[in-house]
Structure 1
Amino acid sequence: MDGEEQIKKAYESILMHDFEQAVEWFGQAIAMNPHNAAFHYKLSITYARSNKLNKAIEHARQAVQMDGRETTYQLHLQNLQAKAFILKAERHLTENEAQLWLAVSLLKRAIELDSLCLEAYLLLGHGYAMLKEYDQAISAIHTLLELDPQHEVGRRLMLEYQQRLKNKNNDSNE
């Protein structure tokens, strides 16, 4: 028994939108073949789709440990870790300056892990704007718009932050 039958049943469960059952089937496959990196990777994806980020990261990490040459596993783990940094950063986007700088730091780390993550650039721009660091806010939003030129919120924020920077510069010149 190598777990392949359980994997098929897990995919059937996914097609029926029964992700909890899919997790059970993937778990059974892993119990039968615990050193199969692909099984851990597939379970990680299912956990991620079910918003169980910690478990998704745990199994993605196991897949990478078992087969570190598989770039798909590495990229998946990095994307999950970036998402974790974003979630943590969101909790620090407050009026407190120290918390805002922590959020900015976490978002930069998320971008290092996943340089295509639009949400990270959007939140980074927002964090910088809250700190009144409009040059950096504009830079973050500019990168977002390079990745997605039609991003409505990004386009609106770009105009807003450019106006704020202009007002800030005018105020400092008076």
Structure 2
Amino acid sequence: MNGENEIQKAYESILGHDFEKAIEWFEKAIAEEPNNAAYHHKLSITFTRSNKLNKAVEHASKAIELEPDNEAFRFHLQVLHARERVEEARKLLSTPTEHAERAIFLLKEAIVLDPLAIEAYLILGEAFALRNDFTRAYQTVMEAVRLEPVNEVAKRQAALYQLKMK
């Protein structure tokens, strides 16, 4: 038995923008072939698109467990770990607490894990601004602008922090 038919149905669901149905089909494929690392990887990507980060990490980890030398699987899990850190930092910064230092640490880790995580740079800039460290806020957000020059949020934040530096 194999899950290729289920995988095809999952892709059809994705093309129809029905990610929940795609998840069901990927899960059926995994039930057919539980040790197929590629199926776990594909399901992880679909969970990521559906903002189900915990499930995405679970299946990405399983894919690596089954195929430890697969660099694409490793990179995907690394990006997911970066997203976890960004989410944790966002939560820390959303309440008036003294956890800004922990949030900054998490965001720096996220950037190491995924140097293209624009959101991490933007939130890190906000964290520096909350400490009135507008020079570092500006420098951090300018890195986001360098990586994604059309990002209007990054450009607005950079302009704001540049004004506050004066």
Shorter-chain TM-score: what band?
over 0.9
What is the alpha-carbon root mean square deviation over aligned residues?
1.5
SS at match of 1:154: helix
Paired position in structure 2 for 1:51: 51
Tell me the alpha carbon deviations over residues 143-172 of structure 1, each in whole angstroms, 9 at most, x when there is no partner. Answer: 111101232222222222122222xxxxxx
Tell me the alpha carbon deviations over residues 2-21 of structure 1, each in whole angstroms, 9 at most, x when there is no partner. Answer: 11111111111222222222
Tell me the alpha carbon deviations over residues 15-53 of structure 1, each in whole angstroms, 9 at most, x when there is no partner. Answer: 222222211111111111111110000000111111111
Paired position in structure 2 for 1:156: 156
Whole-Å separation in 2 of the counterparts to 1:144 and 1:92? 21
Tell me the alpha carbon deviations over residues 76-132 of structure 1, each in whole angstroms, 9 at most, x when there is no partner. Answer: 111111111111111111474621112111111111110001111011001101111
Paired position in structure 1 for 2:28: 28
Whole-Å separation in 1 of the counterparts to 2:160 and 2:77? 35
Is the Cα contact below 8 Å between 1:95 and 1:130 reproduced in 2?
no
Unaligned runs of 5+ in 2: none
Paired position in structure 1 for 2:138: 138
Whole-Å separation in 2 of the counterparts to 1:13 and 1:150? 32
SS at match of 1:98: coil
Paired position in structure 2 for 1:91: 91
Unaligned runs of 5+ in 1: 167-174
Relative to structure 1, is the Cα distance of residues 94 and 26 closer, same or farther in structure 2, using a 3 angstrom cutoff? closer
TM-score between both structures, scaled by the size of structure 1: 0.89
Paired position in structure 2 for 1:115: 115
For the pair 1:39 / 2:55, whether they are aligned, the reply is no
Relative to structure 1, is the Cα distance of residues 95 and 43 closer, same or farther in structure 2, using a 3 angstrom cutoff? closer
For the pair 1:147 / 2:166, whether they are aligned, the reply is no
Relative to structure 1, is the Cα distance of residues 95 and 8 closer, same or farther in structure 2, using a 3 angstrom cutoff? closer
* Matched letter for residue 133 of structure 1: D
Is the Cα contact below 8 Å between 1:89 and 1:106 reproduced in 2?
yes
Percentage of pairs with the same residue: 46
Relative to structure 1, is the Cα distance of residues 146 and 2 closer, same or farther in structure 2, using a 3 angstrom cutoff? same
- CA shift, 1:72, in A, is 1.2
Deviates more, 1:99-108 or 1:115-124: 99-108
Aligned pairs for 1:121-132 within 5 A: 121-132=121-132
Paired position in structure 2 for 1:8: 8
* Matched letter for residue 84 of structure 1: E
Paired position in structure 1 for 2:76: 76
Whole-Å separation in 2 of the counterparts to 1:115 and 1:134? 21
TM-score between both structures, scaled by the size of structure 2: 0.93
